[in-house]
Chain A
């Protein structure tokens, strides 16, 4: 039985990533992962079960957030891994990189309020059909921290219709009761979208930082549910 094997997690480090060590710590603490950092210039992801593109400011956010990281050598390996169905989680800047790389739909614009927002928000689970939400309930409300200046997710009208039709909206901003209101949306994103997945459902990106809210010691462990969901999904896959 391989069910007891520790999940292998590779966290990509771009020049300017700054949540990479937090991501490693979070998956070690929450799902006892065998986690490693992979420098962006490398091309060997190391046979992971999960690839995390962490938050930060890759390439100083030059040109557009995530636009230059997309051309890092490691991204060819990430693309290949994702296309084979490998689980990829993009957090904040990692979400921006995945959108720029075309692995996720849409793009992230400057926050509508033009300010960097660093605070806790609430998100509602909109789809449980991803490895990161399959053990959560649809409609569950998670309190998670955000820290971004460019989180205003957009897609062209036709593309967004497809996203909705394919159940690719994974998280939406909401208030503590789970209701979406203009005040609950910190960045003006289209239809309160906080996170989306690809058509294959194995690649997920979100603006909030689950890795910063993964332990009771930090005052909030809601983010741990996302990592635990992945571990449980993986176990299910392995024992299936």
Chain B
């Protein structure tokens, strides 16, 4: 199965990349661009008997390695 973990800087943590991207989007004329969080996406093939187990594995991967909870937060999902 394929799982996806998305990691972004936590709200409240300064994200210089996100800030620069927000500025660029505004300059391009996109109206009302607010906070932008620039992060990382991990797509991982895992062996799991069902989606629930796959999602749990993705969450463990995030907690142990992919995400640093001091500065980042994550979302884990199953792609199928």
Q: With A107-B71, A154-B71, A156-B70 in contact, is A114–B14 under 8 Å at CB?
A: no
Among B17, B65, B66, contact of A110 (Cβ-Cβ < 8 Å): B17
Count residues on chain A whose CB falls below 8 Å from chain B CBs: 20
Count residues on chain B whose CB falls below 8 Å from chain A CBs: 12
B14 contact set on A, CB distance < 8 A? 109, 112, 152, 188
Among B9, B16, B65, B70, contact of A114 (Cβ-Cβ < 8 Å): B16
Could you tell me if A113 and B16 are in contact, using CB atoms closer than 8 angstroms? yes
Could you tell me if A106 and B70 are in contact, using CB atoms closer than 8 angstroms? yes
A67 contact set on B, CB distance < 8 A? 65, 68
Interface residue B48 (Cβ < 8 Å from any Cβ of A):
no
Interface residue B1 (Cβ < 8 Å from any Cβ of A):
no
A112 contact set on B, CB distance < 8 A? 14, 16
Within 8 A of B (CB), among A187-231: 188
Q: With A63-B65, A67-B65 in contact, is A154–B70 under 8 Å at CB?
A: yes
In the complex the two chains form, what is the Cα distance from A152 to B70 in whole Å?
13
Closest chain A residue to B67, Cβ basis: A64
Secondary structure class of chain A's binding surface, majority of residues: loop
Could you tell me if A63 and B66 are in contact, using CB atoms closer than 8 angstroms? yes
Closest chain B residue to A111, Cβ basis: B16
A126 contact set on B, CB distance < 8 A? none
B68 contact set on A, CB distance < 8 A? 64, 67, 100, 107
Interface residue B79 (Cβ < 8 Å from any Cβ of A):
no
Within 8 A of B (CB), among A43-69: 63-64, 67
Interface residue B13 (Cβ < 8 Å from any Cβ of A):
yes
B71 contact set on A, CB distance < 8 A? 107, 109, 154
In the complex the two chains form, what is the Cα distance from A109 to B70 in whole Å?
10
B65 contact set on A, CB distance < 8 A? 63, 67, 71
Among A64, A71, A107, A114, contact of B17 (Cβ-Cβ < 8 Å): A114
Interface residue B46 (Cβ < 8 Å from any Cβ of A):
no
